[in-house]
Amino acid sequence: MKSFSEIKYHLLYVLPLILFISSSYAGSVKSVKIQDKTNVIIIVADQMRRAGMGFWSQPEYQGALNGVSDPVVTPNIDRLAAEGVVFNQAISNYPLCSPFRAMLMSGMYPNKNGVAQNTHIGRLAGLKPEIKTLTNVLFEQGYNTALFGKVHWHVNKPLFDQQGNYQGTENAPGGHYIKQTNFDTYVPPGKSRHGIEYWFQNLSHVHKNPLIYSNDPATMAGKNDGQVHTNGIYSAVGQADRIIEYLQNNRQQRDTEKPFSILWTMEPPHGPYESLNDTDEQIYNTYYKDKPIIKLLNRPNIDVKTAEKFVRYYFSMITLIDREIGRVLTTLKSQGLEGNTIVIFTADHGEMMGSHGKMSKNVVEEESLSIPFILKYPLKLSHRIDDLMFGIPDIMPTLLGLLNLGDKTPDNIDGVDYSSIIIDPKSTKVNRPISSLYYGKEGEVGVRTARYTYALNNSGQLFALYDNVNDPYQMNNLELKDIPKKDRVLLNTELACWLQSIDHPNASLPSFNRHVTLFPINEIDCHR
Ligand code: CA
């Protein structure tokens, strides 16, 4: 039996010591937990090509961009580039709105994620609700998850009343599509939001008066999730306002004990770009109104007549989103969140803007295919230019790898985790790919290497072969006989192995293989 003095000793010294150790241990666990959490902001512009960033014309970047830089003013993106890793070979594997977004979310190519074309009235295309996406994983791992802007991954069904309020039924009183938009639709709460808690969705291409759906009534004049709202504020400006509030957390939109992930999918510089209704008048007047058209349309492959009506508005929309990105990044810094936040800036695809006589996107040429990609992570990365040839499905596993959540990446995705290379460009843990896959419309497939763009149509016939080094503006569409045999074999082998590895339907299609100009894709052994 313990003596009184022994009990007293324990009460006086041992118990407080245990309490002190346990409380300080809990304290240290808590503080480590908070410090360890890295926030994420992914900014996706729409229809903004890689050349559309001003910093490319600075001396440091000479030779890093294939071809000339657009004469655009983007001081905030330039600063982000100067502080981050600039990837100069990033492409949108399928240069179209919905396929890009579905690849970004799912880590899968279109044949697996359900979005092999734009979601649209009358089509069944839509991101499969059961797929565990990037935001699902982040939510499961304790992140506050938020979305601002365009979604365009959801199957488009007639579930609304005449005013655009969600009814959730094809029967009366529902049964209408949302007015003003036949391509995108509201995403109701549930699985199709893929783990995203805070929802601020914008619809339509009316830049200065988008349709708004949100689960934060304070942003909607008190309206509820599913009720449509408009406020006449330019889409990207309204989104930046909401993101700034979210970062400041002035209405407890998020839990400050948790890290956050923000997906900001802006709609500019998407068309229409036809009048001052589409942009900011002051920016237009200051930077672009009086600039000679020949200085604006500076690519030798441009048909000036095709683009001259649009380019001033297009470029001024780029400067407009640059301004809004600057506001958000300034707030991130003033809130003390900059150091431990990964910021990614990219776009879903480019814009032809008169090159080869074309406008818009969804073609294999460089102005459509090439996209901005900047990744800033002050705690772990300093500035560099990197020519890593990653694809959009690689973003999910790579980001999870950077967040030390690599073991939470679902097994069934196509993407590869390149976080080791991003942290250490000399790392040999994963091979640097030598090509990216082009997964185009109507069964078009191809690869883009550092030198070539090579693409076949759905019948296996060559329709594009460009030497991007010697012909950066892709003025000469080559035949296979024009390039060395080793290059022909490499391009065909790369394509074959891509199609086989992602289980692309063309790989096993006899009609496709019969017409492949070089040798059948399905006979190539990729188990090298
Ligand atoms: Ca788009």
User: Residues 414, 455: one domain?
Assistant: no
Q: Which amino acid is at 138?
A: L
Residue with tokens 């640097």: 432
Residue 26 lies in a domain: no
Assess contact for 243 and 43: CB atoms under 8 A: no
User: Residues 334, 253: one domain?
Assistant: yes
In total, how many domains does the chain have? 2
Residue 509 lies in a domain: yes
Polymer length in residues for the chain: 528
User: Residues 357, 446: one domain?
Assistant: no
User: Residues 240, 323: one domain?
Assistant: yes
Compute the distance from residue 193 Cα to the ligand 1 centre, in Å. Answer: 19
The region that residue 424 occupies, defined by phi over 0 for left and psi between -120 and 50 for alpha, beta otherwise, is: beta
Tens of pLDDT, residues 503-518:
999 999 999 999 998 8
User: Residues 443, 312: one domain?
Assistant: no
Compute the distance from residue 392 Cα to the ligand 1 centre, in Å. Answer: 14
Compute the distance from residue 472 Cα to the ligand 1 centre, in Å. Answer: 24
Residue 186 lies in a domain: yes
- pLDDT surpasses 60 at 16: no
Q: What is the CATH number of the domain that holds 352?
A: 3.40.720.10
Compute the distance from residue 150 Cα to the ligand 1 centre, in Å. Answer: 10
Q: What is the CATH number of the domain that holds 466?
A: 3.30.1120.10
Domain span holding position 350: 39-423
DSSP string, 401-427: HHTT-GGGS-TT------HHHHH-TT-
Q: For 312-345, give the secondary structure using H, E and C.
A: HHHHHHHHHHHHHHHHHHHHHHHCCCCCCEEEEE
Assess contact for 344 and 42: CB atoms under 8 A: yes
User: Residues 104, 164: one domain?
Assistant: yes
How far from chain centre, in Å, is Cα 219? Answer: 25
Domain boundary among 376, 393, 423: 423
- pLDDT mean over 235-263: 97
Give the residue among 290, 314, 264 at the shortest CA–CA distance from 149: 264
- pLDDT surpasses 80 at 279: yes
- pLDDT mean over 66-84: 98
Residue 8 lies in a domain: no
- pLDDT surpasses 90 at 527: no
Assess contact for 80 and 376: CB atoms under 8 A: yes
User: Residues 404, 514: one domain?
Assistant: no
Compute the distance from residue 235 Cα to the ligand 1 centre, in Å. Answer: 15
Residue 11 lies in a domain: no
From the number of C-beta atoms within 10 Å of its C-beta (0-12, 13-18, 19+), residue 5 rates as: exposed
Instruction: Tell me what pLDDT residue 68 has.
Output: 98
Domain boundary among 423, 454, 472: 423
From the number of C-beta atoms within 10 Å of its C-beta (0-12, 13-18, 19+), residue 135 rates as: buried
Domain boundary among 423, 450, 481: 423
Residue 318 lies in a domain: yes
Compute the distance from residue 127 Cα to the ligand 1 centre, in Å. Answer: 16
Instruction: Tell me what pLDDT residue 180 has.
Output: 84
- pLDDT mean over 427-454: 97
Compute the distance from residue 149 Cα to the ligand 1 centre, in Å. Answer: 12
User: Residues 367, 467: one domain?
Assistant: no
User: Residues 410, 443: one domain?
Assistant: no
Compute the distance from residue 361 Cα to the ligand 1 centre, in Å. Answer: 8
Compute the distance from residue 100 Cα to the ligand 1 centre, in Å. Answer: 8
Share of the chain above pLDDT 90, in %: 90
Instruction: Tell me what pLDDT residue 496 has.
Output: 96
Compute the distance from residue 29 Cα to the ligand 1 centre, in Å. Answer: 44
Compute the distance from residue 349 Cα to the ligand 1 centre, in Å. Answer: 6
Residue 233 lies in a domain: yes
Compute the distance from residue 463 Cα to the ligand 1 centre, in Å. Answer: 24
Assess contact for 274 and 310: CB atoms under 8 A: yes
- pLDDT mean over 372-395: 98
User: Residues 407, 450: one domain?
Assistant: no
- pLDDT surpasses 60 at 2: no
Compute the distance from residue 95 Cα to the ligand 1 centre, in Å. Answer: 8
Compute the distance from residue 59 Cα to the ligand 1 centre, in Å. Answer: 31
Residue 418 lies in a domain: yes
How many helices (H) and strands (E) the chain has is answered by 16, 13
- pLDDT mean over 341-363: 98
User: Residues 98, 161: one domain?
Assistant: yes
User: Residues 450, 414: one domain?
Assistant: no
- pLDDT surpasses 60 at 10: no
Triad 511, 116, 138: Cα angle to 5°: 135
Compute the distance from residue 257 Cα to the ligand 1 centre, in Å. Answer: 35
